[in-house]
Copies of this chain bind each other. A is one copy, B any other.
Amino acid sequence: VARPDLPLPSDRVWTDPEKLAPYARDEASTGKLPLAVAFPVDASEVAAVMRWASAHRVPVIPRGAGSGLSGAAVPLADAVVLSLEKMNRILSIDPENMTATVEPGVITGDIRRAAAAAGLLYAPIPASLDFCTIGGNVATNAGGLCAVKYGVTREHVLGLEAVLPTGETIVTGGALAKNSTAYNLTQLLCGSEGTLAVIVKIILKLLPLPAETVTMLAPFDSVDALAKAVVTVVSGKVIPATMELLPRAAVRCVLAKHPEYSYPFPEKVASLLLELDGMDANLVAEQATAVAAILQAHGAGEPVVATTPARRAELWTLRKQVRDSIAHTAPYVEADAVVPRAKLPDLVRAADAAGVAAGLEQITYGHAGDGNLHTYFWRGTHDDVAWARASEIALTHLFTATVALGGTLSGEHGLGHLKRDYLPLALAPETIALMKRLKAAFDPAGILNPHKVFP
């Protein structure tokens, strides 16, 4: 394919191979060098690119920050990468309607800060908060660190503007508390991994900003005890915002990379990072006492409790480095399994068993309160062939067990190309066939992010 004659000013179409290289990768995989990277600045330019792509039958790969973990934004064949990073304006924060309207390229943390400045909360906190974009969050239906109480990205999206693969622009939903007007395309696009349409505008729901937050870190002698404590807490009267499992192996990875960090329980088998928030200091303090008692009744040691922003930040610092530290320690494959919350201890055991079955060491950490854990299986000393076989055994074993527990393959990362082949473990052929018909209804020529999600 020759240099694509994209309908954008030439300074916003990159074709220099050196500049293209970062656009062949996400945080977990490297694909093929794109033919070009296009940087539209508004919806009409996105539509022009899609019309051009349709006319020339050139695949287009939408991309936010490239912080994805499933390879969804990675080209696998000749394609143009459509980077939304220049569409990065917060268009409005509306305190009366408690909504934010944003372009897809805005960094998620910037939305949280802009909302907080207006006394409001944009609730979802992906761990990649400070560098991921909201468009990518919507495309993967990102979850993150406070979904226990607040839910995932999908539950905070009220409306979208999106460009179809064929170039038409659609508007879905609105800044509305209720909407039963024809089909709900908004939540269908959430989590569709850029395969159905290119999101160009997002209306988000905002909430009142909690006035009080208490963070605690509780040490446990076993992951199983921690998992059971989490189930007991969440099925009680108090829903924490955050409940994160930090096993010793994950703590060691972070401390190896960041020896300057102090951590209160480096030798404990596991710690639980838990956060409670609310409008009333006394009530949140009472809840913290009650929750700490439940944890201790399940074998936790005395928790460290932080109520000031500075002390809370200390407890969070290590947690925020876990993924990056693990990912830069050694080669891995990662699973993002999710089970019904009460099955959390079983998921922990399933991850252990998958590692044993594949002959791979693993670290399992993450969103215990959501039943959503990330398992990293290490390559160790395996050669290419052995590693390919072992990682497939590990993922197949873990996903099969997850599905048997009533769970599924991905809680928040999506399938991209790294997990697509496992989809038949979770969904019946009839369901997959229906989804492919929906894909064709959006994208008859199959040019938008092909080779993703489906085997």
Indicate if the CB atoms of A94 and B339 lie closer than 8 Å. no
A64 within 8 Å of B by Cβ? no
Chain B residue, CB-CB nearest to A173? B408
Indicate if the CB atoms of B437 and A176 lie closer than 8 Å. no
Q: Which of A8-16, A26-34, A51-59, A410-418 contacts B (4 or more CB under 8 A)?
A: A410-418
A414 to B370, alpha carbons, bound, how many Å?
32
- A191-B185 contact given A280-B283, A283-B280, CB 8 Å threshold: no
Indicate if the CB atoms of B97 and A172 lie closer than 8 Å. no
| In the A-B complex, the 6 residue pairs with the closest CB atoms | A187-B187, A178-B411, A96-B342, A437-B441, A168-B430, A177-B370
Indicate if the CB atoms of B185 and A434 lie closer than 8 Å. yes
Q: Which residues of B contact A140 (CB under 8 A)?
A: 180
Indicate if the CB atoms of A406 and B180 lie closer than 8 Å. no
A81 to B181, alpha carbons, bound, how many Å?
23
A250 within 8 Å of B by Cβ? no
Q: Which of A141-149, A293-301, A313-321 contacts B (4 or more CB under 8 A)?
A: A141-149
**Cβ of A194 to closest chain B Cβ, rounded Å:** 12
**Cβ of A153 to closest chain B Cβ, rounded Å:** 9
Indicate if the CB atoms of B442 and A434 lie closer than 8 Å. yes
Q: Which residues of B contact A280 (CB under 8 A)?
A: 280, 283, 286
A441 to B187, alpha carbons, bound, how many Å?
18
- What's the tally of chain A residues with a CB closer than 8 Å to chain B? 93
Among residues 193 to 226 in chain A, which have CB atoms less than 8 Å away from a CB atom of chain B?
196, 207-208, 211
A262 within 8 Å of B by Cβ? no
A164 to B179, alpha carbons, bound, how many Å?
24
Indicate if the CB atoms of B431 and A170 lie closer than 8 Å. yes
A385 within 8 Å of B by Cβ? no
Excluding A143-B177, A178-B370, 9 further A-B contacts by CB distance (< 8 Å) are A96-B235, A96-B341, A174-B407, A177-B371, A180-B413, A183-B435, A183-B438, A183-B453, A438-B438
Indicate if the CB atoms of B283 and A409 lie closer than 8 Å. no
Q: Which residues of B contact A119 (CB under 8 A)?
A: 237
A236 within 8 Å of B by Cβ? yes
On A, residues with C-beta under 8 Å from B are 94-99, 119, 140-143, 147-148, 151-152, 154-155, 164, 168-172, 174-185, 187-188, 190-192, 196, 207-208, 211, 231, 234-239, 279-280, 283, 286, 336, 338-342, 367, 369-372, 406-415, 423, 426-428, 430-432, 434-435, 437-442, 453-454
Q: Which residues of B contact A406 (CB under 8 A)?
A: 174-176
Residue in contact with A147 in the complex, picked from B177, B183, B211, B239, CB distance below 8 Å: B177
List 7 A-B pairs, Cβ < 8 Å.
A97-B235, A152-B178, A164-B430, A176-B406, A183-B453, A188-B188, A208-B238
**Cβ of A48 to closest chain B Cβ, rounded Å:** 16
**Cβ of A433 to closest chain B Cβ, rounded Å:** 8
Indicate if the CB atoms of A182 and B427 lie closer than 8 Å. yes
Q: Which residues of B contact A340 (CB under 8 A)?
A: 94, 97, 99, 174-176
Indicate if the CB atoms of B234 and A415 lie closer than 8 Å. no
- A171-B428 contact given A182-B415, A191-B184, CB 8 Å threshold: yes
A151 to B438, alpha carbons, bound, how many Å?
27
A61 to B238, alpha carbons, bound, how many Å?
43
Indicate if the CB atoms of A181 and B423 lie closer than 8 Å. yes
- A96-B178 contact given A183-B438, A184-B154, A184-B191, CB 8 Å threshold: no
Q: Which residues of B contact A147 (CB under 8 A)?
A: 177-178
